[in-house]
Structure 1
Amino acid sequence: MAELGQDSPMPSVQPLLEPPYTVGEGIPAEVAAGVGWGKVKNIYPYPMQESYSREVSPTELTAVVLENEHVRALFLPQLGGRLWELTDKATGKELLHTQDRIMFGNLALRNAWFAGGIEYNIGTRGHSPTSSSPLHSAIVRTPEGQEVLRMWEFDRLREVVFQIDAWLPENSPVVFVAVRIQNPNDKTVPMYWWSNAAVPQTPATRVIAPARESYATDYDGSMTRVDATHFHGADATWPINNAQAADFFFDIAPQERRWEVAADGSGDGLALVSSAQLRGRKLFVWGETVGGHRWQEWLTPTVSGEPRRYAEIQAGLAQTQFEHVPMPAGASWQWVEAYGNAALDPALAAGPWDDAVAHGAQRVEDLVSEAAIAEALSDAGRWADLAPTEMVVAGSGWGALEVLRRRHATMDWLDGTGTPFAPETLTADQQPWLELLKSNEGIVEKPFEPAAVKAGSQPFGGAGSFVRGLDWEDLLTASRNASAEAAFHHAVMVHARASSSAGDLAVVADLYRTVLAGSPTAAVPLSPRSRVLALRGLALALLAAGDITGGLAQFSTACALEVDNRWLLVEAMTMAVDSGNAELALELVSRAPQSLAELGRVKFLQALALARTGDSAAAAEILKAGIEVPDLREGVNSLTELWREVCPGEDVPAEYQFSMQ
C-alpha cells in the first residue's frame, strides 16, 4: 500500500473544480431541472488528502470476511468500507477488479482515491469524502443468529448519518448490503449516493441493463440521450468498443427491476441488483486510448504479465450523477443491494441486445428474486437499530462531537443505538471544539443582554481542525470566547459558506484583515500557523475578487513565513502561474527547501512557470529528466500539453499521456 500521508492543514475553502453542466436534446425535464441543483461550493470542513506518494510497502489492514459455500466477500473498513474482493467459489472467479496493492490518485472529492472493489459514495457528485478513511465498524448479531457487518459514519458535508449493513445468509449465492441514510436536520438536504463496482474488462466483457437508451456524458460536462448499442458507430455496451472515456446512465423504465450485469466471455460476472429506491444504473469506461490505458496502469500497476483493464458498473439514487435528490427533514431512507455471479449463457449474453436483456433479467431473477430482495429489505429494517455486539474499527470522532454539539444547541438527534458515536472515539482533532462546548454549558443568552462569563471559562485557544455550522460561529463570536484564534476560525467559516459575489468576498477579506491586524499581546494571540492560514485565506478572497496583485502578494508573504509548507507552496505556485505571474512561482520555488523543490508536483509547476516566462529549454530539461506527479488530477492533460509546447515535434512519452479524450 502507498503511504496516504498527512491531511492538509489548510481549510478546504477552495471551490470544487467541475466542468459546466449542459444538457442536450431528449433529456427529461426532471433530469434537466436537477442538473446543478444541490452542488456544494467546496468540501469544507473535510481536509484534503493529497500528501500520498507512489512508493508502496507492506501494510497491515483490518479485513472483515463474509463467507459461505458459494461466496467469499472481503471488506476493508479502514478504507471507506470498500468491498475489496468478491469471489464466486463455484468457478473460482473474482467478480471484482482488484489488485495486490493500493495506489492513490487524484480522483476523489478530497483528492486521494484508489481503484478496485465496490465503493460507497455519499454527499455530492464525486468519490466520497470517506473514500480513503475509516468507518466505524462492528459485528451485529441478530435474534435470528445472522451475523451482520455494520459500518457507519457521520457525513460532515450534508450532516447526515449513513450506515452500511452487509451479510451473507447460509446457502445464499449473493451478498446483501443494506444502506440507510438518516437526516436529523430540520431542513431538506440535497442527497447523493452511488455504489461503484470496478469489474474486470476483457475483450469479451459486455455490460447489460434493462434499457436500450442511455444518457451519455464525456469529459466536457455535456449530456445527451443515446442508444448505447449504436454509439459513434459501435455497440458501447462492450467496453472495449469505446474510443474514449465516457459515462452511460441507463434509462430504465419505472416498472423494470433495478439490475446491471458485467459478463465475461464465459457469461460469468458481477450482477449488481437492488430494491427500487436505488434507481440509477451506469457504465463507466476509461476508453481505448493511450491516455485511458495509462490511467488504468497508473491506478492498478502491472507487476508482471499483461496489463489488467477494468470498467465500472454503478447504482445510484438519481437517474444520473449530475443530480441530487431532495431528502426531507427527519427522513430515513433504506434500500438493499445484492452482489453475485450472474452466470449468463455466453451466447445469449453476446447476442442481440433485447435477447441479452431478457436472458439477463431471467438469470438475475434466478440469482436473487424480487421476493428475496423484499425479504432482505424487511430484515434490514428490523435489524437497523440493533446495538453492535463487537466493535472492529473506530471511525472519526466527528460523529461523537456532533452528538454533543446538538445536545448543547438543544437540537434533535437520532436514536444512536444501532450507530453509536461513543465519546471514546473523540481525538485531538475534536478536543478544542469539545472544550469550547464545555466552557459554554448552561449559558443562555437573552436578547440584547451579554451572557455571564462562566467561572473558569477561557477564551478560545485555537484548533488545528475546522468545523461548520452557525451555532459554532455564534460560540466563536460570543464575547466570553473572544480571541484572535476565535476570530480566525470565524473568518474561515464565513469564507467557506460565502458566495462568489463582490460583497461576500469583501466581507471575507475584511474579516481576515481584522484577524491579521490583531494585537500580538492579546490574551490568546494568533498562532504562527493561523497567521499563515489567514494570509492564505485573504489571498484567495482577493484573487476571487479580481485583485491579482494583492492576492499574490499575500501568498508570497505567507510562503515566506512558512517555507516548509508543501501544501501552501503548491497552491501559491499554481495560483501564480494561473494568474499570469510565472515569475513569482519561480521565486517561490527558489526560496523553498530542496525537499519540497524535488516533489513531482512542484517540479511540474516549475517547468510550467519556466515555459510561461519563455525559457522552454529549461522546462524541457525538467520534463526530459523525468517527473512523476502522484496527485495528477483525473481529466487533466497538462503533462502532454506542456511537453508539446516545449518539445515540439518530439513524441510525447507514454508516461505523460493521460488524456481521456
Structure 2
Amino acid sequence: MTTIRREVLTLPAAPLGPDNPLPPLRPLDEAHRIDDRDRAGLPRDMARQIDYEPLRSLLPAQVRDGYGRGREPRALDALVIENDRLRATVLPALGGRIASLHHKPTDRELLYVNPVLQPANFALNGAWFSGGIEWNIGATGHTTLSCSPVHAACVPAPDGGRMLRLWEWERLRDLPFQVDLWLPEGSDFLYVGARIRNPHERPAPTYWWSNIAVPENRRVLAPADEAWLPHSPKGVGGAPIGYERRLRRVPVPEYGGVDRTYPLNSTYAADYFYEVPDDRRRWIAALDEGGHGLVQTSTDLLRGRKLFVWGTGPGGRRWQEWLTEPGTGGYCEIQAGLVRTQLEHVKLEAESEVSWLEAYGPLTASPEGDWHTVLRRAEDRLEAALPRADVDAAYDAWRACADTEPGERLATGSGWGALEVLRTGWKLPGTPFAEDTLGEEQRPWLHLLRAGSLPEPEHHAPPGGTLVARPWRDMLETAAATPSAEYHLGVAQWHGGDRAQAVRSWERGLKSATDRWPLLRCLAVADQEDGHGERAADQYAEAFDDLCARRTDGAEKGDGRWVAVTAALGREAIGALLAAGRGTDARTVWDRLDPATRARGRYRLIEAELLAAEGRSEDARAVFDEGFEVADLREGADGIGLLWARLDDAPLPARYDFRMWPDGE
C-alpha cells in the first residue's frame, strides 16, 4: 500500500537570508517579446497568447537576494510518498519540489538530484535552485515560489489509498492552485493531478510549466519533427529565454548539422519548444545510452514540451558548477506546459478552473537510430507500460477527489491565501486557507480589512510588503492618509500604471513622515525612470542619511531587517550616485555599510566599480585578484565582464566568465 511519511533530508545548503525589503518598482529585466519580423509567421493562437497580459512587475512579491554561497549541512523537512515500486521525496518548504524519484525494482534514480542546495538568481524574484521537478506557475519564468513554503496534507486517493496534496496562493496572478501526488498500488508511475482556479469575477492570465531536471548525458525524445527556437541573431544554436528577440521554427532532431536531441551536442544554451501535433500523445523522455530513463506524459491539455540545454561552452559549464559544485554531473531540463512556448500566457475565464493529469515513471527503449523509428519504439513501450486511455481514466478518477477536504496537515505555507479568503468569502473546496495560517506579514493588512486603517510600523521598523490588487488599493484610498498608508498606496498605484498619482501619494506622505527614507527611495526610483538622474541621486542620498539615523535610533544594529534594508538601499544609492558622477557621495554611502555587507561578493564588485570611478584602477583590479563571488548574479548579466574590460586587456578570468554567447556577444 502507498505510504506518506515525514523525513529529514540533510544537504550542504546556503541559507536563504532575508528578502530585499525594498518594493520592486522597476520593470522586469526579462520582458518576453518577439521581433515583429517573426510575429506574422506564428500560429494565430501562439501570437495571441504571447501578447496576452505579459508580466510587467514583480509586485506584490519581494526580491529574494539575501542568500550567499557559504554552505553548511542543513536539515530539510521532506515528505516521502512511496509504494512497492517508486519513492518520491517532496520538499514542502521549497515550493513542493520533488527532489528525488527513485525506481525501486531497478534501483535507479529517474531525476537529476542536486547534492547541494544552492540558491541562485534564476526565479522571477531571485532565489531558485536546480534539480528535481518543480511546479512553475504565475508567469514566464521560474516561479516566485521556488524557495517558499506551500501547504501540504493527506487526502484520500482515487484508488482508496493516500494522496499527498500541495497547495498555495500564487500572488503574481492572485490565483490558488493545487498539486496532488499519488502512487496506485503496484504502479511504476507517479500520478500528478494539477488544478489552477480563478475565483475572480474577471478573466486572469495563467501559466504552467512542469520543469524536470535529468542528467544531460541523455537523448531527449518527444513526438515532434519541428521545434520553436528562441534565439539571438548573433547566437549559435539558440539563447536563453529572456534575451532573445527572434523565434523561428527549426527541424528536429537535426539543426545546423547537429542532432540537438543530445544535450551534449550543443555548444551554447538553448530552449527547444517542440511542435507536438494535435493528434499525438503528449510525452517527453530522456534516455541514457543503455535505453533507460524517465518519461513524462499527460492528458492532452498539457500541450507543450520543451528541452533546455546549458551547452558545453565555458559559460554553460560555469553555470552548471555555480548551481551545484565542481565534479558533479551536469543536467538538462525536460518540461511540459499549457502552451507551446514559455513566451505565452493563457486566459483563464472568470470563476473557472483548468486541470490536467501528469504521470512520471521509468521507460526503457533504445534511443539510437532513425528519429521516427526511435519515437515509434519509445511510444510503443510507453503505451504498453501506461496506456494513453489509462491516463485519461486516472484523470477522471482524480477529478472526483479534487475537492475532497484535506485531513492531516503535513506542512504550512503562507497566510496570503487566508487573507484573500477572509476578504472575499470565497469557498475553495479541497484547498482550505485557514485563518490560523495568518502571520506577521499579513497582520497590518488584516487590520486594514477589519478596521479600515493601516497601522504604522512599530519602532521605526522597515515597512513590509505591499498588496497591490485593485480591492486593496481601493481600501488604501479610503483609509486615513497616514505616511504608511500613502507609501503603500503609492506602490499600488505605481503597479497599476498610475505613476503620476503614485508620486503625489509619496509626496503627501513625506510631509508628515517621521521615517522619510521609504518614501524618498520610491521618489528616487520614479525620478530614475523619468530620466532625472541628478534628482534621483539627491533623493537617494537623503534617503540613506535618514535610514542611518532611524536605524541608530530605532533598532539594534544586529537586527537582520535593518542590515538587509541598509544593504539594499545602499546598493541602489551607490549606483545612482555613480551614474550622476558623484563618486565622493557614493564613497560616503559605502563607508556606512556594515563590514559584513561590504565583504559579500555583490558588494566587492560594487567596491571595484567605485574604485574604478575614483580613478584607482590598480586597486579595482586587485579586488578581482583577491577573488569574489556574486551570489545573486543574473543569467545574462554582463557587469563583471564590462568592468574587467575597463581595467585589463587580458581575457576575463574563467572564474568570472558566465557569458552564454560566442565572443561574449
Residue type matched to 1:212 in 2? D
Matches for 1:79-158 after TM superposition, within 5 Å: 79-142=94-157, 144-158=159-173
Equivalent residues of 1:430, 1:465 under 8 A apart: no
Partner of 2:486: 487
Q: CA distance change for structure 1 residues 368 and 144 in 2, over 3 Å: closer, same or farther?
A: closer
Per mean C-alpha deviation after superposition, the further-off stretch among 23-32 and 153-162 is 23-32
Partner of 1:467: 467
Q: CA distance change for structure 1 residues 618 and 290 in 2, over 3 Å: closer, same or farther?
A: same
Q: CA distance change for structure 1 residues 263 and 585 in 2, over 3 Å: closer, same or farther?
A: farther
Partner of 1:517: 511
Query: Residue 265 of structure 2: which of 237, 241, 248 is its match?
Result: 241
> How big is the shift at 1:143?
7.2
Q: CA distance change for structure 1 residues 174 and 208 in 2, over 3 Å: closer, same or farther?
A: same
> How big is the shift at 1:199?
0.3
Equivalent residues of 1:583, 1:609 under 8 A apart: no
Q: CA distance change for structure 1 residues 465 and 60 in 2, over 3 Å: closer, same or farther?
A: same
Matches for 1:538-549 after TM superposition, within 5 Å: 538-549=523-534
Q: CA distance change for structure 1 residues 201 and 20 in 2, over 3 Å: closer, same or farther?
A: closer
Residue type matched to 1:360 in 2? A
Q: CA distance change for structure 1 residues 372 and 250 in 2, over 3 Å: closer, same or farther?
A: same
C-alpha distance in 2 between matches for 1:582 and 1:655: 28
Q: CA distance change for structure 1 residues 574 and 633 in 2, over 3 Å: closer, same or farther?
A: farther
Unpaired runs of 5+ in structure 2? 1-12, 231-238, 458-462, 549-562
Query: Residue 499 of structure 2: which of 505, 509, 529 is its match?
Result: 505
Q: CA distance change for structure 1 residues 253 and 612 in 2, over 3 Å: closer, same or farther?
A: farther
> How big is the shift at 1:634?
1.3
Matches for 1:628-643 after TM superposition, within 5 Å: 628-643=629-644
C-alpha distance in 1 between matches for 2:31 and 2:474: 35
Tell me the secondary structure at the aligned position of residue 253 of structure 2: helix
C-alpha distance in 1 between matches for 2:184 and 2:285: 22
> How big is the shift at 1:596?
2.0
C-alpha distance in 1 between matches for 2:574 and 2:302: 43
Partner of 2:612: 611
Tell me the secondary structure at the aligned position of residue 118 of structure 2: coil
**TM-score of the superposed pair, with normalisation by structure 1:** 0.89
> How big is the shift at 1:300?
1.2
> How big is the shift at 1:373?
0.6
C-alpha distance in 2 between matches for 1:277 and 1:310: 27
Tell me the secondary structure at the aligned position of residue 640 of structure 2: helix
The answer to whether the aligner puts 1:212 opposite 2:225 as a matched pair is yes
Residue type matched to 2:617 in 1? S
Query: Percent same amino acid among aligned pairs?
Result: 38
Q: CA distance change for structure 1 residues 111 and 580 in 2, over 3 Å: closer, same or farther?
A: farther
Partner of 1:192: 207
Q: CA distance change for structure 1 residues 582 and 358 in 2, over 3 Å: closer, same or farther?
A: farther
Per mean C-alpha deviation after superposition, the further-off stretch among 232-241 and 220-229 is 220-229
C-alpha distance in 1 between matches for 2:158 and 2:354: 23
> How big is the shift at 1:581?
5.5
Residue type matched to 2:532 in 1? D
Partner of 1:418: 430
Equivalent residues of 1:41, 1:497 under 8 A apart: no
The answer to whether the aligner puts 1:17 opposite 2:17 as a matched pair is no
C-alpha distance in 2 between matches for 1:466 and 1:139: 33
C-alpha distance in 2 between matches for 1:165 and 1:514: 48
Per mean C-alpha deviation after superposition, the further-off stretch among 238-247 and 582-591 is 582-591
Matches for 1:446-595 after TM superposition, within 5 Å: 460-462=455-457, 464-478=464-478, 481-498=480-497, 504-518=498-512, 526=513, 528=515, 531-563=516-548, 564=563, 565-577=566-578, 584-595=585-596
Partner of 1:599: 600
Tell me the secondary structure at the aligned position of residue 196 of structure 1: strand
Q: CA distance change for structure 1 residues 459 and 332 in 2, over 3 Å: closer, same or farther?
A: closer
Equivalent residues of 1:505, 1:542 under 8 A apart: no
CA deviation profile, 1:515-543 (whole Å, cap 9, x unmatched) = 1112xxxxxxx453xx2211111001111
> How big is the shift at 1:590?
2.9
Q: CA distance change for structure 1 residues 192 and 262 in 2, over 3 Å: closer, same or farther?
A: same
Q: CA distance change for structure 1 residues 416 and 652 in 2, over 3 Å: closer, same or farther?
A: same
Residue type matched to 1:322 in 2? L
Equivalent residues of 2:121, 2:632 under 8 A apart: yes
Per mean C-alpha deviation after superposition, the further-off stretch among 130-139 and 214-223 is 214-223
CA deviation profile, 1:31-72 (whole Å, cap 9, x unmatched) = 233324311221111111110111122222221112222211
Q: CA distance change for structure 1 residues 252 and 584 in 2, over 3 Å: closer, same or farther?
A: farther
Equivalent residues of 2:305, 2:334 under 8 A apart: yes
Equivalent residues of 2:221, 2:261 under 8 A apart: yes
Equivalent residues of 1:142, 1:386 under 8 A apart: no
C-alpha distance in 2 between matches for 1:295 and 1:99: 14
The answer to whether the aligner puts 1:301 opposite 2:325 as a matched pair is yes
Q: CA distance change for structure 1 residues 241 and 406 in 2, over 3 Å: closer, same or farther?
A: same
Tell me the secondary structure at the aligned position of residue 371 of structure 1: helix
Partner of 1:339: 360
Partner of 1:375: 393
C-alpha distance in 2 between matches for 1:585 and 1:358: 64
> How big is the shift at 1:357?
1.2
> How big is the shift at 1:420?
0.4
**TM-score of the superposed pair, with normalisation by structure 2:** 0.89
Query: Residue 433 of structure 1: which of 438, 441, 445 is its match?
Result: 445
Query: Residue 320 of structure 1: which of 324, 329, 341 is its match?
Result: 341
Per mean C-alpha deviation after superposition, the further-off stretch among 239-248 and 589-598 is 589-598
Residue type matched to 1:461 in 2? E
> How big is the shift at 1:580?
6.2
The answer to whether the aligner puts 1:350 opposite 2:368 as a matched pair is yes
C-alpha distance in 2 between matches for 1:183 and 1:20: 24
Tell me the secondary structure at the aligned position of residue 500 of structure 2: helix
C-alpha distance in 1 between matches for 2:90 and 2:155: 15
C-alpha distance in 1 between matches for 2:138 and 2:578: 32
C-alpha distance in 2 between matches for 1:280 and 1:509: 42
Tell me the secondary structure at the aligned position of residue 100 of structure 1: coil
Partner of 1:269: 293
Equivalent residues of 1:174, 1:367 under 8 A apart: no
Partner of 1:453: none
Partner of 1:390: 408
C-alpha distance in 2 between matches for 1:135 and 1:328: 25
Residue type matched to 1:495 in 2? W
C-alpha distance in 2 between matches for 1:586 and 1:210: 58
Unpaired runs of 5+ in structure 1? 408-412, 441-457, 499-503, 519-525
Partner of 2:377: 359
C-alpha distance in 1 between matches for 2:385 and 2:198: 33
CA deviation profile, 1:398-429 (whole Å, cap 9, x unmatched) = 0110011114xxxxx2x333100111100011
Per mean C-alpha deviation after superposition, the further-off stretch among 123-132 and 608-617 is 608-617
> How big is the shift at 1:476?
2.1
Q: CA distance change for structure 1 residues 400 and 19 in 2, over 3 Å: closer, same or farther?
A: closer
Residue type matched to 2:530 in 1? A
Partner of 1:60: 75
Equivalent residues of 2:87, 2:102 under 8 A apart: yes
CA deviation profile, 1:492-515 (whole Å, cap 9, x unmatched) = 1112222xxxxx433322221111
Residue type matched to 1:416 in 2? L
Residue type matched to 2:415 in 1? G
> How big is the shift at 1:645?
3.0
Tell me the secondary structure at the aligned position of residue 166 of structure 2: strand
Q: CA distance change for structure 1 residues 596 and 561 in 2, over 3 Å: closer, same or farther?
A: farther
> How big is the shift at 1:593?
2.9
> How big is the shift at 1:643?
2.4
Equivalent residues of 1:459, 1:482 under 8 A apart: no
Tell me the secondary structure at the aligned position of residue 72 of structure 2: coil
Query: Residue 404 of structure 1: which of 422, 438, 451 is its match?
Result: 422
Q: How many residue pairs were aligned?
A: 614
Equivalent residues of 1:277, 1:335 under 8 A apart: yes
